Structure 1
Amino acid sequence: MKTFSKPYTKNQNINTRPEVELLLSCARTQIDDERAQRIKSLVKEDIDWQYLIATAYRHKLMPLLYNSLNKICANAVPNEAFNQLRELFQRNAQRNLFLSGELLKILGLLKERGIVALPYKGQVLATAIYGNLALRQSGDLDVMVQQPDVLEFKEVLLSLGYQPEIKLTPSQERAFLQAKTEHSYNFFNQDKAILLEIHWRIAPKYTCPIEAKDLWDKLEPFAFFGTTIPNLSLEDWLPILCVHGSRHRWEVVGWLADIAELIRNHPGINWEKVIAQSNKFGCRRILFLGLFLVNELLGVSIPTEVWQRIKADSEVTSLADSVCKDFFPETDAPERFLTTTIYQIRVRERLQDKLLYLESFLLWLRTRENTFS
């Protein structure tokens, strides 16, 4: 299958600061000679290192930035900036190791109860697509189970010292788990400073209808720290990662880096299966937008046949232009509810999904008015 690829280019809608180009050039695990030379050249420019480090951290690209600079031109980076990056990198690696230990303990307890649990994003994703736990920036735990297992999962967490972020009565809890606006039940362990989110679907129903039950018959075994745990197939991960990023209007470039690494490191992806999955769940345009953005920002090769389908949807390019404008703003922009709402409606290709999102938005508005009236 032929592929469409391009080197990093300064999209007219993306901030053209050298720090931004340097960050995007470093946001990968494999760097060819041409890109390495460009990184060396950029490091010699008048780089605002504090801006670069803060931006990398905000976009969850700090580990990739450090890893690339360390391999290519560590001596050219000012000592203070390099030491700061190294400390942040090591702290992130230690945190991920700590979270992995907690995750394995929880998965073991769930297994004893006969509950199949899927680690969602986080440390398992870092191992699966980066091949190195330290190269992905994350701060909490996400675990998916089928909806009927959520309350038993809750009991396991309570026994380990976790407490729910919101206090619900049994009747409120049942309504919460049935609500199409909800997708996770969050618990916090104060002593360990760990937030764990129990997911039974990947996003609120108005964003995407994929639930745990839709994935369970396709789970694959995955080796993680000497044990075998369930994991998603590559063909399921791609649309799911795109749904997650799109739900937040791609406010974090690190989510695109995840998709980019998945594609680069797994050339055997069954693209027809990926597109069929996205068609089934009404998230084809969401998938196409994610693929367009990883090509535009990170130079990822997209199969020609897939690229042609992406370009055939004119909304994708338009949506990408609006998203790119907000990746690296010079000033903090106020939260724009209307912009986000319009985006969420446009990014869905089926009328029924557009109407579902609009219905949820109007419900949120009424709730907000009642709260402040």
Structure 2
Amino acid sequence: MTRRFGDEERFVIRCCKAGIRGTSVRPNWFESGLDWETVCRLTRRHCVTPLFLEAVRHEREETVPPEALETLEERSAYVARRNLRLLQTTASLSQAFEREGIRAIPYRGPVLARIAYGDVGRREFGDLDVLVRRTDLPAARSVLLEQGYDPQYVRETTDGLTSSQQWAYTRFARDYAFEHRCEPVEVELHWRVLARRFPTAIELESVWDRRSTTSIAGTDVPVLSPEDRLLSCCVHGTRHRWDRLRWICDVAADLERNSIDWETVIRRSESHNCTRMLLLGLAVTASLFETQLPVRVRRRIDADPAIEPLRLHVRDHLFDDSAYPEHELWRFQSRTLERYRDRGTFWATCLFEPTRPDIEAVSLPRPLAPLYSLVRCGRLLRTAIGRRPRSRGETDSNPSRTNANP
């Protein structure tokens, strides 16, 4: 049975939709029984406070309790200050990479905020994601070290990686996290948009020639093409089971402000083996935000019998804050893969391919790297025996950090 949204949940969705479209907030949306503490918690949890506040501030501000309005304004002001600082950081890092001849494309974060929302202060994000070639990782790592960043590790006891561990990192993982020594700024170098367990091989080589540019802090920064950006948003949201309203807002805002060549995006999704992920993201966005999709796209959605059950699953769990076992996330992710052989590879990779915690746990010589699979199995066994279910937003590659703000 489909879960009914509560009044506060419905209200947050409506206001986010109004904020994206620039439409007025209807007076009857401010239902008398709203629990504003819950409203503030939801906007914070789903990282949509600035967008929500923008929708209500000028239309019905007098109906918002002063305490709630103060909470929303403080959060929105903090996001604006932080985003401006990260915008400057994006420009400076882009220049540093270019000076060293490193091809790098910032995506999500301030770039997505600028392009999809028109204002960097309207979207919450936490870290900076940069797509680079795997062969450029040593040079990109050196640039970040020179800029004052240190590598971040999953295990608190990890004190640097050996050369063999670094090789295994680039072989099996998909990103490398760094944190500034003096500022609360995190940067992630990605050489794949998704982990190897997915058949979706979106890498820098496949998107570089299609890139465009946007001006950030007076610097022309390379960005993904509109079609690649939409694919990136949809595969990222699907990876996280669309459990943040912000990720759905990203798709809705991007489609509201920018034109898409739908034939191209469908063709690229097929070549990258992520058509169902794309269609699921579009179906979820259309159902919650009434986003208009071309007839041919709606037909593709209707033609895939797996989309509707997946969409209902997303809807039913969108506002569910309870913890869930990791294998349930894997099950959802596997259902977004169309081919049976891809699902088989996915499950085998989940069970046997090492992740960042496995690699950090022990240093193996490169010839013995296949033995990391045994480390992986041991960790999964310990988890199955006694570890708690994973919290929402927590990833296998880094259990200590949440991905609420990428």
Tell me, yes or no, whether TM beats 0.5. Answer: yes
**In the alignment, which of 216, 219, 236 is matched to residue 224 of structure 1?**
216
Q: For residues 173 and 196 of structure 1, what CA distance do their matches in structure 2 show? A: 17
- Give the match for residue 165 of structure 1: 152
Are the equivalent residues in 2 in contact too, given 1:282–1:353 (CA < 8 A)? Answer: no
Deviation (angstroms), 1:246 = 0.7
- Aligned pair partner of 1:338 in 327, 336, 339: 327
Residue of structure 2 equivalent to 1:304: 295
Q: Verify the 8 A CA contact 1:243 1:287 in the aligned structure 2.
A: yes
Describe the superposition over 1:235-269 as per-residue Cα deviations: whole angstroms up to 9, x where unpaired: 11111111101111111111010000111112x31
Q: 2:191 touches 2:204 (CA, 8 Å); kept in 1?
A: yes
Amino acid corresponding to residue 177 of structure 1 in structure 2 = T
Greater shift, 249-258 or 201-210, is seen at 201-210
Please point out which of 175, 188, 196 is paired with 2:168. 175
Note the alpha carbon deviations across 1:291-322, whole angstroms, 9 max, x for none.
Answer: 00001111111111110110110100011111
The one-letter code of the counterpart of 2:165 is: Q
Contact 2:20 2:256 in 1 (8 A): no
The residue type paired with residue 67 of structure 2 is E
Q: Equivalent residue of 1:115, what SS?
A: coil
State how many pairs are aligned: 353
Matched-pair contact (CA < 8 Å) for 2:269–2:275: yes
Q: Does 1:133 align with 2:144?
A: no
Q: Which runs of 5+ in 1 are unaligned?
A: 1-11
Distance 1:138 1:351 in 2: 35
Instruction: Give the structure 2 partner of residue 106 of structure 1.
Output: 93
1:351-373 CA distance string (max 9 Å, x none) = 23212211112216624246679
Q: Residue 22 of structure 1 contacts residue 42 of structure 1 at CA under 8 Å; is this kept in 2?
A: yes
Query: What are the superposed Cα offsets for residues 35-90 of structure 1, whole Å, 9 maximum, x if unpaired?
Result: x22xx223242111111111111111111111101132111111111111111111
Q: For 1:168 and 1:288, how far apart are their aligned partners in 2?
A: 40
Q: CA deviation at 1:177?
A: 0.7
Shift of the alpha carbon at 1:31?
Answer: 4.0
The Cα offsets for residues 169-207 of structure 1, whole Å up to 9 and x where unpaired, read as 11211221121xx11100112410111101111010222
Contact map agreement 1:184 1:200 (CA 8 A) in 2: yes
Aligned position for 1:67? 54
Provide the residue aligned with 1:366 in structure 2.
377
Q: Offset at 1:14?
A: 4.5
Q: Is the 8 A contact 1:14 1:327 kept in 2?
A: no
CA change 1:178–1:338 in 2 (3 A) is closer
Say which is worse superposed, 93-102 or 219-228, in terms of deviation.
Answer: 219-228
- Greater relative contact order structure (CA < 8 Å, 6+ sep): 1
Q: Give runs of aligned pairs for residues 318-333 of structure 1, distance below 5 A.
A: 318-329=309-320, 332-333=321-322
Q: Is the 8 A contact 1:18 1:42 kept in 2?
A: no
Q: 2:343 aligns with which of 344, 350, 354?
A: 354
Aligned with 1:349: secondary structure? coil
Amino acid at match of 1:276: R
Q: Residue 111 of structure 1: SS of its match in structure 2?
A: helix
Is 1:272 aligned to residue 283 of structure 2?
Answer: no
Alignment check: 8 A CA contact 1:61 1:137 kept: yes
Contact 1:63-1:135 within 8 A present in 2 as well: yes
Assess, with a 3 A threshold, how the Cα gap between structure 1 residues 359 and 91 changes in structure 2: closer, same or farther.
Answer: same
CA–CA distance in structure 2, aligned partners of residues 318 and 29 of structure 1: 27
Q: CA deviation at 1:225?
A: 2.0
1:288 and 2:299 aligned: no
For residues 110-125 of structure 1, the aligned pairs below 5 Å read 110-125=97-112
1:22 match: 11
Distance 1:71 1:117 in 2: 40
Asked whether the equivalents of residues 83 and 110 of structure 2 are also in contact (C-alpha less than 8 Å), the reply is: yes
TM (norm. structure 1) is 0.90
Secondary structure at 1:325's aligned position in 2? helix
Query: Which position in structure 2 is the counterpart of 1:13?
Result: 2
Pairwise CA RMSD: 1.7
Unaligned runs of 5+ in 2: 154-159, 354-375, 386-406
In structure 2, how many angstroms separate the alpha carbons of the residues matched to 1:128 and 1:165? 29
CA distance in 1, matches of 2:57, 2:275: 38
Distance 1:284 1:309 in 2: 10
1:80 correspondence with 2:67:
yes
| 2:185 matched residue in structure 1 | 194
SS in 2 for 1:158: helix
Q: How far apart in 1 are the matches of 2:120 and 2:380?
A: 44
Secondary structure class of the residue paired with 2:177: strand
Partner of residue 152 from structure 1, selected from 135, 139, 145: 139
The answer to whether 1:214 aligns with 2:195 is no
Identity of aligned residues (%): 31
| Cα deviation, residue 168, structure 1 | 1.4
The reply to whether residue 259 of structure 1 matches residue 251 of structure 2 is yes
CA distance in 2, matches of 1:220, 1:16: 39
